[in-house]
Amino acid sequence: MLVTRFDPFREIKELENRIFQNYAPATAEKGISTFTPSVNTREGEFAYHIDVDLPGVKKEDIKIDVKDGLLTISGERKLKNEIKEEDYYKVETVFGKFSRSFTLPDDADIENIEASSQDGVLEIVIPKLKKEENVKTIEVK
């Protein structure tokens, strides 16, 4: 008698594999699956910082917009034009369009946001608005 270990999720896993089997191989082999860059965010004393890993993306292919308190970074990672797709044996790099959005805090100074790209990392610096002290002294009469 053959003993089989019971796996309550086996059928779900098999179904998932059958569903995505038709989509994943074609896109993964061609390197055109969804490109989602890694992002690191931090808060400093005077500014917020967003670092986006964009290796192989030219700064001309990056767009940064601010609208209604939402900062959106979008662009495209493209194949090298001088190399034809059929010349590759295997492509593991993911190419394609991307977009990431971030809700800006209330104290973000959107008029003075700066962005720079160096060594495949896009750095966005969002200065904080200076807090004005709303202290009013009331004279006693």
Residue 54: predicted pLDDT: 94
Region of poorest pLDDT, from 113-117, 126-130, 136-140:
136-140
Contacts by residues 7-11 (CB-CB < 8 Å, ≥ 24 positions apart)? none
Best CA proximity match to 62, nearest among 108, 100, 14, 103: 100
Percent of the chain with pLDDT over 70: 77
Residue 26: predicted pLDDT: 45
Q: Which residue has the higher pLDDT, 79 or 4?
A: 79
Entry pTM: 0.67
Where b means 16+ CB within 10 Å and e means fewer, 101-131 reads: ebebeeebeeeebeeebeeeebebebbbeee
pLDDT at 82 over 70: no
Tally the C-alpha atoms within 13 A of residue 31's C-alpha that lie toward its C-beta: 15
Region 81-95: mean pLDDT is 71
Contact 124, 64 (CB under 8 A): yes
Region 55-73: mean pLDDT is 94
Contact 77, 94 (CB under 8 A): yes
Domains of the chain: 34-127 (2.60.40.790)
pLDDT at 32 over 50: no
